[in-house]
Structure 1
Amino acid sequence: MKQFSLLDLSPIPEGQSAGHAIANTIALGVAAEKAGYHRYWLAEHHNMPGIASAATSLIIAQVAAATKTMRVGAGGIMLPNHAPLVIAEQFGTLATLYPDRIDLGLGRAPGSDMETARALRRHMAPEDSFPQDVQELIRYFGTEDSKVRAVPGHGTHVPVWILGSSLYGAQLAAFLGLPYAFASHFAPDMLEQALEIYRSSFQPSETLKEPYAMMAAGVCVADTDEEARYLRSSQLLAFAKLRTGKAGKLPLPVDDIDARIPAPVLHQVNHALSCSASGAPDTVYRGLDELITRYKPDELIVTGMIHDHGARVHSFELAAKVLKSLVSSA
């Protein structure tokens, strides 16, 4: 593993507003830079009462403005929701404001339910234009002469990543010679197969000469295993509510998680979030070391939702110390 990074879903805790969540995201970005994270990504979600990063490029701009050296970007933008030119202009503007610091991860999913997708004015065409849209977007960042240019954007060469939770993204990233990030923090089942396909079928490009794979993992680090178990209960509750169609703000933590979530649902939640490590620093070190040894990512991006902002910052600060030790021992 060469680098470690942070994925922030900008959670809105119960009892707080989207404004609080955005302020927390900016503060966490500042703390992440001090802690040594290589990049800080935010994700596009819509119609989600507990996530404040719907206007992803705007939040990226706020985090980039509050930091100095850390890379900031999207993990990711759901490209089917947008015209490639619009995204090229947005991220070209970000790259102009913050040179050599902006990343653009692209996803194929809508990041919402179908009714919300229609509200985004998506053209619900049966054909899949994602590969063509990705290539169109990359051209806008290049120096190729064209009647249509992204201004700003033209010539910025914003790094483009392909994101995925299935084999499709792995195949596309390999074919286009782009870096690849797998969403194993909530969809771990195809991680091993996707990485194998990406690495074995990778075609070198002007962008990338060798495959570069990132995997995502959940973390919840506290001073003790017991405290981490308590803090992580908020994320388990939130994911259970999402799975049962009752999405809401990030719940307060509880001591009796087994009594709050029906056993079959909790089993599903624990499986979906199994690519993770939770506990005191030593416990998390062992958990992350096992994941890194098994999957051999070039980069690990960690994420985690904790209701209390101070505890969340502390968790990622402790995680950074663990990750630094794992990088130095690699």
Structure 2
Amino acid sequence: MSAPLSILDLAYINTGETAGDSFRASVNLAQRAEEWGYRRIWYAEHHNMSIVGSSAPSVLIAHVAAQTRTIRLGAGGIMLPNHAPLSIAEQFGTLETLYPGRIDLGLGRAPGGDQQTLRALRRDPESGDTFPEDVLELQGYLTGRSRIRGVDATPGKGTDVPLYILGSSLFGAGLAATLGLPFAFASHFAPNALKDAVALYRREFEPSAQLDKPHVIAGVNVVAADTSTEAHEHLLAAKRRRVIQLLGRAGVEVPPQAARTVLETPAGKQVLEHVEREMACTAGGTPAEVRDYLDRFTDLARADELIVASLAVDRNAWLRSLELLADVSGPVGA
């Protein structure tokens, strides 16, 4: 493998599962990923999504960190406009104090939910406009150089938790370049601007105290299985889950007995077209086929690191996909 691999755990709550089941699966994955040699696992902040359990990444990180030993854990990311920078500095300063050298903090400016959820979070619709200033304020707390006189993060001050800018557009790329921070592009669900964003980031990057040269992390979906047929079946199930989720957001409920045939309905077919565009950066097949795709994708994305999300719905297949990828990739976290 030409780039080290990390994992994005989407903390799915599958049909028939509880949030507790999802968290137990996340711990199990982290423990195994540590053995398999993965570099890091990130969890993303989402709200008001019945199939996603990672609404409070800092709490989930603490839970997983307590049951692992060496793997890095982080937010991929915290949607900073939903929070006061001081509060996030205190949370991640606490995590870094408890688990030194193992904590990452990725930052995004999206709400992590729909407009109704934004209101429920008491978020000002314009709060994303101050994202660059909020990142700098947060960075000041963590480095011990507070930008607000008389205010420090305790814990947090001087912990130097590494920051990453997340994005799916040129805005995030430009900000990461200006601040001299690593840039993680969300190509696993929003691939359209990948090449342009990475080009801008690399062209305009300014070295900083945290980072002396550009570092690009590109998101990519994986479904690895022992046979291509099996991988295709798991990928189809993942697309079905995503279609049902999007139909639900649009107010179209799909009863469990109709789930298997939802992709054959007019509404399902229409949403599937969107899902397939969304999932354009997906490696599916045998371990060798997945590895070959990821090698090509690394070159396409000009990535220094890949962060992979296993799309398999079945829990055993979800774990097996990442195990097979580790087996075929050598030292995945090198």
State the TM-score, normalized to the length of structure 2: 0.92
**Structure 2 counterpart of 1:97, which letter?**
L
Identity %: 47
2:308 maps to what in 1? 302
Which of 256, 259, 263 is 2:264 aligned to?
A: 259
Sort the Cα spacing of 1:321 and 1:226 in 2 relative to 1 into closer, same or farther, 3 A.
same
Q: Would you say 1:100 and 2:106 are equivalent positions?
A: no
Shift of 1:114: 1.2
Who is 1:158 aligned against? 161
Q: CA deviation at 1:326?
A: 8.1
Opposite residue 68 of structure 1, the aligned amino acid is R
Equivalent residues, number: 327
2:291 counterpart of 1:285: yes
Indicate if the aligned counterparts of 1:284 and 1:322 stay in contact, CA closer than 8 A: no
- Opposite residue 214 of structure 2, the aligned amino acid is P
Which residue of the partner structure matches residue 230 of structure 2? 227
1:174 equivalent to 2:177? Answer yes
Mapped contact 1:170–1:197 kept (Cα < 8 A)? yes
Q: 1: distance between equivalents of 2:189 and 2:183?
A: 16
Partner of 1:69: 70
- 1:100-131 residue CA offsets vs partner (Å, 9 max, x unmatched): 11000000100001111111121233771000
Between the aligned partners of 2:49 and 2:333, the Cα distance in structure 1 is 35
- Give, as a single letter, the amino acid of the residue that structure 2 aligns with 1:100: G
- 1:129 counterpart SS class: helix
- Show structure 1 runs of 4+ deviating over 6 A: 254-257, 325-328
How far off its partner does 1:66 sit? Answer: 1.4
**Offset of 1:257 from its aligned partner?**
7.5
- 2:325 is matched with 319
**Alpha-carbon displacement from aligned partner over 1:128-169 (angstroms, at most 9, x marks no partner):** 100000000000001226411110000000000000011100
Match of 1:45 in 2: 46
How far off is 1:244 after superposition? 3.2
Q: Deviations over 1:286-321 (max 9, x none)?
A: 211221122220000000232322221111111122
**CA separation in 2, counterparts of 1:88 and 1:7?**
22
Post-superposition offset of 1:230: 1.2
- Asked whether the equivalents of residues 11 and 305 of structure 1 are also in contact (C-alpha less than 8 Å), the reply is no
Equivalent residue number for residue 272 of structure 1: 278
After TM superposition, the structure 1 stretch with the greater mean CA deviation from structure 2, 174-183 or 65-74, is 65-74
By how many angstroms is 1:77 displaced? 0.3
CA distance in 1: counterparts of 2:105 and 2:127, whole angstroms: 26
**Which consecutive unaligned segments of at least 5 residues does structure 2 have?**
none
CA RMSD of aligned residues (A): 2.3
Point out the more displaced range, 118-127 or 179-188.
118-127
Q: Which residue of 2 aligns with 1:23?
A: 24
> Structure 1: how far apart are the matches of 2:238 and 2:151?
44
Structure 1 spans left out of the alignment, 5+ residues: none
TM-score between both structures, scaled by the size of structure 1: 0.93
